[in-house]
Structure 1
Amino acid sequence: MGVSTSAPDDGIAVVTVDFPPVNALPVQGWYDLAAAVRAAGADPEVRCVVLTAEGRGFNAGVDIKELQRATGPEAILGANHGCAEAFSAVYECEVPVVAAVHGFCLGGGIGLVGNADAIVASDDAAFGLPELDRGALGAATHLARLVPQHLMRALYYTSRTVTAEELHRHGSVWRVVPRAGLRETALGLAREIAAKDGRLIRLAKAAINGIDPVDVRRSYRFEQGFTFEANLSGVADRVRDTFGNDKREEQS
């Protein structure tokens, strides 16, 4: 359980997240993920990173139970900073990052894939920001990198999800494949990228980041200010408690 790194092919590092049962990451998990991605990108032998996950889905966001157990602001501050670090690590990775997404990709998962360089998804993958249903805000910055502006707003306000096939039609998902072929498809794209000159691919990554119209780190940090305001006002706890009750009723 946790975050691990492997090297299945020359020039490729695979960073795998495994936090059962749904890959909802605790605060330390976000920092561990950030450290693993940064270390992989800093390795001069690596020319592409594949970000993947074990279990039922790619990522379910922040561990809500950890926030509910907290008695002070430390947990929400930790989640805010941890998510910011993980998202930034993916975006700022010195080499391209390919996200291999299966099952659900929610909340913080959108922050990760929205900052990735390419996305490969299984045909059962669903993407969305249920933040308003969970007493949170944030990652609209990253959802806006996956879908057009007005669709992003509708998805954000309703907490609805979109399928991998819908994102493929918008051009943000590279390939949609059966789950059994997800890893190999992601590795296939990574191999094609890793075949390039290592120094040149790093220059290309820096150049492309440099022409982005939106500073994703600053944009996301702006959003997080409203997340903290929601927590200070008490509305976040009220909504999170409702979410927790709904989950318990489903399980009873």
Structure 2
Amino acid sequence: MGVSTSCGEKGVCVVTVDFPPVNALPVAGWSALADAVRAAGRDPEVRCVVLAAEGRGFNAGVDIKEIQRDGDGALIGANHACAEAFGAVYDCAVPVVAAVQGFCLGGGIGLVGNADAIVASEDAVFGVPELDRGALGAATHLARLVPQHLMRALYYTARTATAADLHAHGSVWRVVPREGLRAAALGLAREIAAKDGQLLRLAKSALNGIDPVDVRRSYRFEQGFTFEAGLGGVGGRVRAGFGEEGRR
């Protein structure tokens, strides 16, 4: 259980998340993920990182139980650690390919929205259920996956979009059977890693530099409203009704 790294293939490093039962990450898990992605990007032999997960879903967001148990300290910790993890994916010196199966929710959207490419299984669904969890955030990243009005409708309703939906919008590279997900993600990573490593790093910096939205600042702005919801009491009131069924 935790975050592991495997760099067995030339030029490709796989960072895998495994936090049963649903990959809802505690504060320490988000920080460990950030550290692993940064370390992989710093390795001069690595030209592409694959971000993957074990289990039935890619990511169910933050560990709401931890926040319910530990209160504001855990909420602040989760906000900072999520920002670290999202930023680590975005700022990774080399391209990051996300391999997504099952559910990709909340913080999961922050990860894949900042990745360079997404390969998804046919059963993958994507959404931001923050309004059902007493929080706000990750609209910045959902807006990188779907058009503006669809992003708003998904955000307000806490509904999900399928991998096929996102493929139609051009944000998912390929949709494959679940059993072929890892192979498809590695296939794309190998194709990327076949390019010159120095040039790839320059390309990553160049593409980040022309992004129309500063994703770090945009997400931190959103987080301010999560703090406001917490201080105002509405965040805790909504989270109080969150049970195991909310974790899918």
| Shorter-chain TM-score range | over 0.9
* Percent sequence identity over aligned pairs: 80
Paired residue for 1:94? Answer: 93
State the alpha-carbon separation in 2 of the partners of residues 52 and 34 from structure 1.
13
Deviations 1:23-76 (A, max 9, x none): 0000000000000000000000000000000011000000000000014x2111
Paired residue for 2:188? Answer: 189
Paired residue for 2:13? Answer: 13
Paired residue for 1:82? Answer: 81
Q: CA RMSD in A?
A: 1.3
> Unmatched 5+ residue regions in structure 2?
none
SS of 2:136's partner is coil
State the alpha-carbon separation in 1 of the partners of residues 7 and 184 from structure 2.
16
Give the drift of 1:247. 5.3
Paired residue for 2:163? Answer: 164
State the alpha-carbon separation in 1 of the partners of residues 121 and 56 from structure 2.
12
State the alpha-carbon separation in 1 of the partners of residues 57 and 156 from structure 2.
23
State the alpha-carbon separation in 2 of the partners of residues 236 and 126 from structure 1.
25
State the alpha-carbon separation in 2 of the partners of residues 155 and 36 from structure 1.
31
Give the drift of 1:113. 0.1
Paired residue for 1:215? Answer: 214
State the alpha-carbon separation in 2 of the partners of residues 29 and 62 from structure 1.
9
> Unmatched 5+ residue regions in structure 1?
none
Do structure 1's residue 22 and structure 2's residue 22 form an aligned pair?
yes
SS of 1:157's partner is helix
Paired residue for 1:151? Answer: 150
Paired residue for 2:113? Answer: 114
Give the drift of 1:244. 2.5
The number of residue pairs the alignment matches comes to 248
Paired residue for 1:206? Answer: 205
TM-score, normalization: structure 2? Answer: 0.98
SS of 2:119's partner is strand
State the alpha-carbon separation in 2 of the partners of residues 166 and 245 from structure 1.
27
Deviations 1:188-229 (A, max 9, x none): 000000000000000000000000000000000000000011
State the alpha-carbon separation in 1 of the partners of residues 57 and 246 from structure 2.
18
